[in-house]
Structure 1
Amino acid sequence: MKLTAITLDCADPLALAAFHQQATGLAPHPESNPEFAALGGGEDGPVLGFQRVDDHRPSSWPDQGVPQQLHCCFRVADLDEAEARLVELGAGRPEYQPNASRWRVLTDPAGHPFCIVPGG
């Protein structure tokens, strides 16, 4: 069994795909549309997909009123530099950080939490 895709629910697939494309450098799928957009795939790894869901409710992490449902972790060379770049692209930075010296929790523009961790 091989992982082929991770898909996130959201209100605006094209906008969320654009954020993640800028953040990761993954190539957009040529058939992306307002209902479903995708990045990556091929020989390099799984597809990161974004599907439109009516009345999408962003996670309220760390409060569990609306659970995080899923989160991705991304390895970065420098935590502070990556965090600043991602926030400039539109990521949010929740006040609660469980271990900011070892990893950072951010949210994409649709409210999905994701972590950045140091590593080469």
Structure 2
Amino acid sequence: MALQMKLRAITLDCADPLALAAFYQQATGLGPHPKSDAEFAGFTCENGLFIGFQRVDDYRAPSWPDQTAPQQIHLDFAVGDLDAAEEQLLKLGAGKPDHQPNEDRWRVLTDPAGHPFCVVRA
């Protein structure tokens, strides 16, 4: 019998959990988890998936596409309008690397802690 697992949470390392959680909360419209603090913060998606952010001493942001400090994970978010989503996320504090492998279909951005994530055409 195969083991069945359901993804329950994704946790990203960072230097400032509350700031990174605030970025993603503004981007998604989801509210903070009531027990969020300076060591661990997060929110729960409508489907029950928890996204958390944990403080790590001497955090080193990944670099993309350069692998000097490799990305260990990235998130993809479906959006209706790539240009509008990119504009709004940049205003919230996201970064946009120069290297964009398929800008017509998705955009690679970085959150304020340096984690790459993509917005993809829904």
Query: How many pairs are equivalent?
Result: 118
User: Higher Cα Rg: structure 1 or 2?
Assistant: 2
Q: Show the counterpart of 1:104.
A: 107
Is residue 77 from structure 1 mapped to residue 80 from structure 2 by the alignment? yes
Structure 2 distance, partners of 1:56, 1:64, is: 16
Unaligned runs of 5+ in 1: none
Give aligned-pair identity as a percent.
Answer: 69
Length-normalised TM-score, structure 1: 0.95
Amino acid at match of 1:24: T
| 1:13-63 Cα distance to aligned partner (Å, 9 max, x none) | 00000000000112210000000001115x622100000000000111110
Aligned with residue 55 of structure 1, among 48, 58, 62: 58
Unaligned runs of 5+ in 2: none
Is residue 11 from structure 1 mapped to residue 31 from structure 2 by the alignment? no
The Cα RMSD (Å) is 0.9
Aligned with residue 118 of structure 2, among 96, 115, 118: 115
Length-normalised TM-score, structure 2: 0.94
Amino acid at match of 2:18: L
User: Once superposed, which parts of structure 1, at least 4 consecutive aligned residues long, lie more than 4 Å away?
Assistant: none
